[in-house]
Amino acid sequence: MPPSTSRPRRPGRVPAVALVVAIVGLSTSTGLAVLLSEQQGRAEERLMDQRATAMQAAVTTEARRYVETLTTLAAGAASMPEVDAASFDALTATLQGMELPGASGIAFVVPADGAEVPAVQEQWRRRGVADLQLRPSPDRDEHIFSVLQRPVSAGTLAPLGQDLLVSPQATAALLRGRELSTVTVSRPYQLLSDRDLPADERQLSFLISAPVLAPAADGGPRAFRGWLVMGMRGEDFMGSTLHQTGEGLARAALLADGGDGWTTVAGDDPDPGSAGDLRRTERIVIADQQWLLQAHAHRADLPGGDDVLALAVGAGGVGLTVLSTALVLVLATAHRRAERRVEEATRELRSAREEAQRQAGLLGAVMDSLGDGVTVVDQDGSYLLSNRAARSILRLEEPDGPDRWPSHHGVFLADGGEPFPVADLPVVRALAGESVDDVEMFLRNEARPDGLWLEVSARPLDPRTGQSGAVTVFQDVTARRSAHEAVRRSEEQLRLLLDGARDHAIVMLDAQGHVASWSANAERINGYTEAEVLGRPYTMLFPADAVAAGEPQRALADAVRTGRIEPEWSLVRKDGTRFWALSVLTPVHDDAGALRGFVNVTRDITARKRDEARFRDLLEAAPDALVGCTEDGTIVFANSKVDELFGYRREELLGSPLEVLVPEAAASGHAAHRARYLHDPVARPMGSGMQLSARRRDGSLFPAEVSLSTLESDDGVIVSAAVRDISDRVRAQGELQRLNGALRDLNTELELRVHERTAQLEAQADALLEVNSELEAFSYSVSHDLRAPLRAVDGFAAVLAMDHADQLDDAGRRYLDRVRAGAQQMGELIDGLLSFSRLQRQDMSVRPVDLDPLVTDVWEELAVERAGRVVDLAVGHLPPVEGDPRLLRHVVANLVGNAVKYTRGRERALVEVGSRTGDDGAPVYFVRDNGTGFDMRYADKLFKVFQRLHRAEDYEGTGIGLALTARILHRHGGRIWADAEPDRGATFSFTLPGPDAATALVAATVPATSADPTPAIPTPRSVR
């Protein structure tokens, strides 16, 4: 054999090489494990930051929704003329459709001093809260009462009339809100309505309050009306939001400053044993308060949060190192050529192993550091690889094949109702070679009963890698979707709220003053559609002169500077018409204080402006000094007469207490008098039966008469006082009292004289009774003693005429006729005297009488007198009268009979009966003829007994008829008179009392004529 050419063995080299291999292998494995562990820690920190930021955004969005809802409601209440039960119900009705977890209810609360409690209670009863009973806390000067409320979610509400001062946390928030005119949040406490619940059902709660200020009057200060308050139960408010966004965390809690430290309002109470090794604390701004959001997690509970990969890499490296070392020891004893081969193979193996370890470590770190789930499947749908986040999201054993994925994992379409079709699954589409992005689906199964929303993307594997299949990425978008849904609900609820305020146009502006939202009521009031105004400057709603003067821009700047303004200004509708509007312009800021925009609430007050102008005119036209004050006695209006009466300029009085016009001695008790009046506010004179005084600017007093009444206004009840200086009257009353004293003395003397005169009249009455008795006896004597001889004379004369007329010559027969005529005339005179006498003693039966039938009846009775003549009767309108029908028939018969008699010489006689309206508006009746007439110089004799103006030879009669007629009319309360001319006819006019309806009918249908005393006669009806 040829000699060996190999180098001689060096026995000490083998252990050294093995030692080097072991040291290098162990160092490399340890370094890789440490590197992977550090990468895993940084990934866990980033994932924890993402979770905390998502929770902060969700909580801030949800809290802002409640604050903005209450702010909008407060703006609506501020613009109302008056807050009462009906307007409160209308304003808060939109809350019923809103999802407001944790909100127990919304209430309107008002302040009241101790002395004002009865007046405040009565005021709100008048405003629609009929059974309101205010229950003030004892030993307090000021109270805060709930007077209106509406439940929002399930639960009980504290009774109306509760004094909120029993809760110091609520009191502090309310007073802070009133002082700063902003929305405030209280420190946590137990709601009054929850204090009777079992201990395990109570929650720490808080309230959100917004002050409500009345519109400013004439540029003066704005009156404080009260607060809108929403009671919030902490766990119900944010518990579900924290649990959804904080899933997988050891603790998620919302903390508020309780006064003596931070208190958990919602979420998990701290547990030192399970706090977690990852912690985050974020600040949350809720209205005027800063709360804390705490999130704790264990690293191992986060996706990709364990150290299995690092341990596996380290263990694998150690194993490979041991194998390599052993291999070196075994092969070191072989042939040199084999040694070289081994050394070369070892180097290649080490390089491949290092590359594999590097690739495996990098891939594991990348996969498990991802917050999104990642899975890799082969062409058959079997899982090749999945990271921790994917296993956390799916939380189930891997199914066999894609067909079982929807039912196994509980995969539904995004609406959560229909199962996701297998063919449309992103991984199935990727296995078919299609790239799929951002497919939304809903996952719900036993492990996730509440479900979560996922966005899934998938890509096919490149077949050039030697492996077919697909990669799928799952992203949990539940928190983002919840935040988006909360924003959508908030916007929808805001839209409902904006459109629900019937009389208010609510417009949102951006920071530059451009229209960002436009309610339906804004379109109704201004005339513009939403499409016509969105994005345009709100200056388009103003007149050109106001825009040129910079009025809209100044208003935005003033609102930012002061926090809120309430201008009254003239606006222009789309059709060019102007109207007066009351606006509430409020800036809106984000959490960092940057200006986001404005809320502008507008109400058309054109009608109110017209009423105010009329009221001012009436105020100035009043003859008395008029002063108006609010319920607390602050003067809000006065007319110019106040300057003359009190010496104050109107500007000095506005805003001053009413007591400046009251004498100093009475000023201290004046508030109590005012409260008593407001308890029963009816218009009445003040201080009836008392001597009132008023105080001028110089301190002098004067006697005054004060009348009180109330007015309803936007600022509540206004008490109006009309003050009149009665100094002249007081002096006149003093003089009158002096005269009354003198009059009493005269009355005493007069009573003595009356007593004496009464005695005389009584004596005369007795004598008159005796005379009446004698007159009755005389009437009886005339009726019986005179009638018998007259009948005998007439009877014998008649017998003589019938039996012996042929024995008498013409003169004898003429004398006999005259005897009979004289006897008959004497009988008629006796009958007339008896009738005239009986009329004084005869009782009357008074009732309504229609004169038309009386005229017709009398005319028919006169048929014999009218025989052979042409006599026309014209009857006009005759209103009904009150009287005795029998006596009034005598009046008609006498007057109409005289008219027929005295027209005997006319070829065509005319008798007219009618009425006209007298100077006093009462009817005047008349009978007119065209007969012989008479001389008015003798008219005073017409109505006296036995007085005649015509010879008996021409016209028969006794001279008693007209006297009897005048006496009948006099007994009825009427009168009679005559107008005539010789040979031109005569008119007899008379009056009678009539019903009011008849008088009105006469006044309406028979107009008086002042120029011609002759009444207008309707078209006559002729009767012959």
Tokens of residue 785, six digits: 């003693």
Q: Residues 82-96: pLDDT tens digits?
A: 889 988 888 888 787
Does 1022 have pLDDT greater than 50?
A: no
Mean pLDDT across the chain: 78
The predicted structure's pLDDT at residue 128: 92
Q: Which of 160, 163, 154, 187 is nearest to 173 (CA)?
A: 187
How far, rounded to the nearest angstrom, does the alpha carbon of residue 507 sit from its chain's CA centroid? 20
The predicted structure's pLDDT at residue 1024: 43
Secondary element (H or E) of residue 768: helix 727-781
Does 62 have pLDDT greater than 90?
A: no
Which span out of 589-598, 610-619, 758-767, 831-840 was modeled with the highest average pLDDT?
589-598
Q: Cα(148)–Cα(165) distance, rounded to whole angstroms? A: 17
Which span out of 191-195, 740-744, 762-766 was modeled with the highest average pLDDT?
740-744
Mean pLDDT of 147-160: 81
Give the three-state DSSP class for 647.
Answer: coil
How far, rounded to the nearest angstrom, does the alpha carbon of residue 12 sit from its chain's CA centroid? 106
Q: Residues 8-19: pLDDT tens digits?
A: 445 555 566 667
Does 403 have pLDDT greater than 70?
A: yes
CB contact set of 803 (below 8 Å; sequence gap of 6+): none
Q: Residues 505-524: pLDDT tens digits?
A: 888 999 999 999 888 888 88
Q: Cα(625)–Cα(640) distance, rounded to whole angstroms? A: 7
Q: Residues 299-323: pLDDT tens digits?
A: 766 665 555 555 655 666 666 666 6
Q: pLDDT-derived band of residue 1014, with 50, 70 and 90 as boundaries?
A: very low
The predicted structure's pLDDT at residue 912: 94
Among 243-247, 380-384, 636-640, where is mean pLDDT lowest?
243-247
Secondary element (H or E) of residue 235: helix 234-245
Question: Exposed, middle or buried: residue 226 (CB in 10 Å: 0-12, 13-18, 19+)?
Answer: buried
Q: How many CA atoms lie within 13 A of 653 on its CB side?
A: 28
Tokens of residue 901, six digits: 């008699």
Among 234-243, 572-581, 720-729, 911-920, where is mean pLDDT lowest?
234-243
Secondary element (H or E) of residue 815: helix 810-841
Secondary element (H or E) of residue 524: helix 520-526
Does 1007 have pLDDT greater than 60?
A: no
Rounded CA Rg of the chain: 58
* Backbone angles phi and psi of 330, in degrees to 5: -70, -45
DSSP strand pairing (986-990 vs 976-980) = antiparallel
Does 134 have pLDDT greater than 80?
A: yes
Report CA dihedral (537, 542, 548, 554) to the nearest 10 degrees.
-70
Mean pLDDT of 675-681: 79
Q: Residues 696-712: pLDDT tens digits?
A: 889 899 888 888 888 87
Cα(first)–Cα(last) distance of the chain, in Å?
Answer: 193
Q: Cα(30)–Cα(368) distance, rounded to whole angstroms? A: 20
The predicted structure's pLDDT at residue 146: 92
Q: Residues 932-991: pLDDT tens digits?
A: 888 888 777 777 766 666 665 556 666 677 888 888 888 888 999 999 988 889 999 999
The strand pairing partners of 453, in sequence order, are: 442
Q: Cα(852)–Cα(337) distance, rounded to whole angstroms? A: 165
What pTM did the predictor assign? 0.41
- Could you give the residue ranges of the DSSP H alpha helices within 114-195? 117-126, 168-180
Does 228 have pLDDT greater than 90?
A: yes
* Backbone angles phi and psi of 153, in degrees to 5: -130, 180
Q: Cα(230)–Cα(107) distance, rounded to whole angstroms? A: 6
Tokens of residue 788, six digits: 């018998």
The predicted structure's pLDDT at residue 320: 66
Residue 740: how many CB atoms within 10 A of its CB?
12
Task: Name residue, tokens 């018409």.
Answer: 577
Does 60 have pLDDT greater than 90?
A: no
Contact at 8 Å (CB) between 397 and 409? no
Q: Residues 630-663: pLDDT tens digits?
A: 888 888 888 888 888 888 888 888 888 988 899 8
Contact at 8 Å (CB) between 426 and 472? yes
b vs e for 232-243, b when ≥16 Cβ sit within 10 Å of the residue's Cβ? bbbbbbbbbbbe
Among 30-39, 242-251, 809-818, 933-942, where is mean pLDDT lowest?
30-39
The predicted structure's pLDDT at residue 3: 45
Which span out of 154-168, 521-535, 728-742, 781-795 was modeled with the highest average pLDDT?
521-535
* Backbone angles phi and psi of 111, in degrees to 5: -90, 160
The residue ranges of DSSP E strands in 18-119, in sequence order, are: 103-113
The predicted structure's pLDDT at residue 1006: 36
SS3 letters for 571-582?
Answer: EECCCCCEEEEE
